[in-house]
């Protein structure tokens, strides 16, 4: 769902189209970092850094793979 007014969205697209590829990439990196910070801030307190990374990985990528593929990746990156 997009709740941005069409006029505002049009203006944002115009501004975005004027950015260089490097500026666009940097904005994307900044947005990814913000999302990461939001997710980590909502994790339960007391997790180790490894547990935080594992939870972040699960949140980011679980929907990108079949359950079987995801479990293989999870076990490969986060062996117990």
Per residue in 28-54, pLDDT (tens digit) is: 999 999 999 999 999 999 999 999 999
Percent of the chain with pLDDT over 70: 98
Please check the confidence at residue 3 and state whether its pLDDT lies above 90.
no
How far apart are alpha carbons 72 and 31 in whole angstroms? Answer: 28
How far apart are alpha carbons 1 and 36 in whole angstroms? Answer: 21
Computed over every residue of the chain, the mean pLDDT equals 92
How far apart are alpha carbons 25 and 22 in whole angstroms? Answer: 5
pTM: 0.68
Q: Which tokens sit at 32?
A: 């990814």
Q: For the chain, how long is the longest CA-to-CA vector?
A: 51
Segments making up each domain of the chain, as ranges: 1-42, 44-80
């Amino acid at each position: 769902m997009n709740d941005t007014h069409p006029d505002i969205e049009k203006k944002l697209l115009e501004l975005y189209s004027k950015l260089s590829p490097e500026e666009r990439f940097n904005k994307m990196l900044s947005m990814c970092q913000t999302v990461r910070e939001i997710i980590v801030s909502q994790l339960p307190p007391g997790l180790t850094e490894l547990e935080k990374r594992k939870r972040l990985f699960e949140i980011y990528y679980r929907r990108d793979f079949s359950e079987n593929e995801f479990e293989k990746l999870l076990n490969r990156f986060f062996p117990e």
